[in-house]
Amino acid sequence: MAEAHPNRREHILAEAEQLFVSHGIAQVTTRQIAQAVGISQPSLYAHFGSRDAIAVELCRRAFETLTARLTAADSQGGTALERLVRQSREYVAFGLAHEAAYRVAFMMDMPGDGSADKQVVIEAGVGAFGILYALFVETHGPGALMAAQSAWASLHGLVALLLARADFPWVERESLIEHHIAGVCRAALA
């Protein structure tokens, strides 16, 4: 048996991510992914059992990266407002710097019907959200979940719009981001 290319798995993930962003997860086949990588479909199956397994791995990795970034932002300490502003900046920066990963993890329907794979994605997303939520538990008590989800949704809205409608005549991007984060954070901790 021929030895697998040492970076083949990463190559598969990179090509699949681009195909998913271009066409949607449900419209991409393992045959298309294998062709983009330059391998046979059976060779792809040596690394991933299905298209959905590839999508799950991409989502898991995106949320893992986001979790690490939010954790690092929070670990610097400070007031609740300072911590929330840093976490919010990291969330937005992650989404804009890793557009394909963000789109796959946050903006595409995952195939499946509640399978174990889908549960992996949900748990990874909840893990990332948990960093933000922990801050709200400290400041809001019983209302923490509502406040944290509202802040998360507001940040997502900004990132999704900047990605999906990049050609809209936005004001200067960094100013808009800072203005939005300041408003979300002040309102969230009011």
Token pair for residue 38? 């330059």
> What local confidence, expressed as pLDDT, does residue 4 receive?
53
Q: Does the structure show a pLDDT above 70 at 3?
A: no
| CATH 1.10.10.60 in the chain, residue ranges | 1-49
Classify domain 1-49 at the CATH superfamily level. Homeodomain-like (1.10.10.60)
| Contact present, 46 and 9 (Cβ < 8 Å) | no
Q: Does the structure show a pLDDT above 60 at 51?
A: yes
Q: Give the number of other CB atoms < 10 A from CB of residue 8.
A: 16
Q: Does the structure show a pLDDT above 90 at 175?
A: yes
- In whole angstroms, what is the distance from residue 45 CA to residue 41 CA? 7
pLDDT, averaged across the chain = 91
Lowest mean pLDDT among 10-14, 44-48, 91-95, 113-117: 113-117
Q: Does the structure show a pLDDT above 90 at 114?
A: no
Q: Does the structure show a pLDDT above 50 at 2?
A: no
| CATH 1.10.357.10 in the chain, residue ranges | 56-188
Task: State phi, psi for 157 to the nearest 5 degrees.
Answer: -60, -45
| Contact present, 83 and 145 (Cβ < 8 Å) | no
- If pLDDT is split at 50, 70 and 90, which confidence band does 25 have? confident
CATH architecture of 56-188: Orthogonal Bundle (1.10)
Q: Does the structure show a pLDDT above 80 at 44?
A: yes
N-terminal to C-terminal alpha carbon distance within the chain: 63
Nearest to 61 by CA among 130, 156, 129, 128: 128
